[in-house]
Chains A and B, each alone.
Chain A
Amino acid sequence: MIRALLPIAFFTILAGFLYVGLYKDPSLVPSPLIGKPIPSFELSVLKDADSSVSEKDFKGQIALINVWATWCVACKQEHAALVHLAEQKNIPIYGLNYKDDRDLAKQWLIDYGDPYVLSAYDPSGRVAIDFGVYGAPETFLIDAEGVIRHKLVGIMTADVWQQQFVPKIVRIQQNP
């Protein structure tokens, strides 16, 4: 009896692992930065090369930091959702413009709308390395102290906002 059940048990366990594996996205790498303060940096403001922005400018309230670039196709896909969020929801969105051209990026915001309070301009991508960015778009949720609470790799949509961000924001508000 056990002899017959053993292979079946083995198969079931293996099939279980494989089944779970089917729905996991291997390109999603958990970030070690969650629960840590945003890295310090000093960059110029995208729209104003003369003024600078640091991590301190992102602190003060619950906010989003969105890593974007004009060469990034998925960024274009999520852009409307970000514009909508900036207009409808009471949450500031900061941009981290990643390995881009300043003029192209400024034009992009004119063409498609500008959801950002401001965008930091990171042409070399060096600051993005400190943020652990490995593929734009990425969106970080930070609390008022500037601690990273959640990270989204991929496209922001109304559904993603509702399912991933809203519960986290509620939790931060209840328990800052």
Chain B
Amino acid sequence: MSDNSSSNLYLILAFLSVLVSAHTHAQLITVEPQYQQRYHAILEELRCLVCQNQTLADSSSELATDLRVQVKTMLEDGNSDQEILDFMSARYGDFVLYNPPVKSHTLFLWLGPFILLLFGIIAALVVVNKRSKSEQSLSDEDLRRIQELLDKK
């Protein structure tokens, strides 16, 4: 019995170890405590160009590590958050910003969802409207028969 439960424990541990190792760690960079919060906020705003669906904070690619060092250096040199984001987008384009600025070529990106929503609302209104029109109102005769059926119960 005790054998059985300890082997179960091993199984669970083995399973958990897989989960832990599957989570790749981005190389940590030590940042002065007073910059920590801004540092992490900026990294969440920036996309890694090598593995595009990760933020700079998550990515373990070498370029991401270099760019994290760059963010740290710029923070320590007294740059503002906006200056750092501008530095990155000047080199890598608006694509690196998870929150791209509203410009002529990003207008569709910003407005697209609302346009689709508008279409959806219009379609819904049309459908509802049609359906309510096609529903025939009950005649007095129908109502009387319904009442009759209900009364029978």
Contact = CB atoms under 8 A, between A and B. Distances in A.
A129 B95 contact: no
A31 B94 CA distance: 9
Contacts of A32: 89-94
Contacts of B49: 29, 134-135
The interface centre, meaning the residue of A26, A29, A135 with most chain B CB atoms within 10 A of its CB, is A29
Interface of B: 49-50, 52, 62-63, 66-67, 70, 89-95
Given A99-B62, A129-B70, A135 B91 contact: no
Contact of A135 (B50, B67, B94): B50
B66 A129 contact: yes
A64 B62 CA distance: 25
A134 B51 CA distance: 10
Given A99-B62, A129-B67, A129-B70, A134 B92 contact: yes
Interface residues of A, number: 17
Interface of A: 26-27, 29-33, 99, 124-126, 129-132, 134-135
A67 to B, nearest CB: 12
A129 B91 CA distance: 7
Nearest to B70: A129
Contacts of B52: 26-27
B95 A134 contact: no
Contacts of B93: 29-32, 132
A21 to B, nearest CB: 14
B2 to A, nearest CB: 52
Given A29-B92, A32-B92, A32-B93, A134 B66 contact: no
26 contacts: A29-B49, A29-B93, A29-B95, A30-B93, A30-B95, A31-B92, A31-B93, A32-B89, A32-B90, A32-B91, A32-B92, A32-B94, A33-B91, A99-B62, A124-B66, A126-B66, A129-B67, A129-B70, A130-B91, A131-B91, A132-B92, A132-B93, A134-B50, A135-B49, A135-B50, A135-B63
The interface centre, meaning the residue of A26, A125, A131 with most chain B CB atoms within 10 A of its CB, is A125
B122 to A, nearest CB: 12
A40 to B, nearest CB: 14
Contact of B63 (A31, A33, A134): A134
User: Shortest 4 CB-CB distances between A and B: which pairs?
Assistant: A134-B49, A132-B91, A32-B93, A29-B95
A131 B63 CA distance: 13
B91 A125 contact: no
B50 A125 contact: no
A30 B90 CA distance: 12
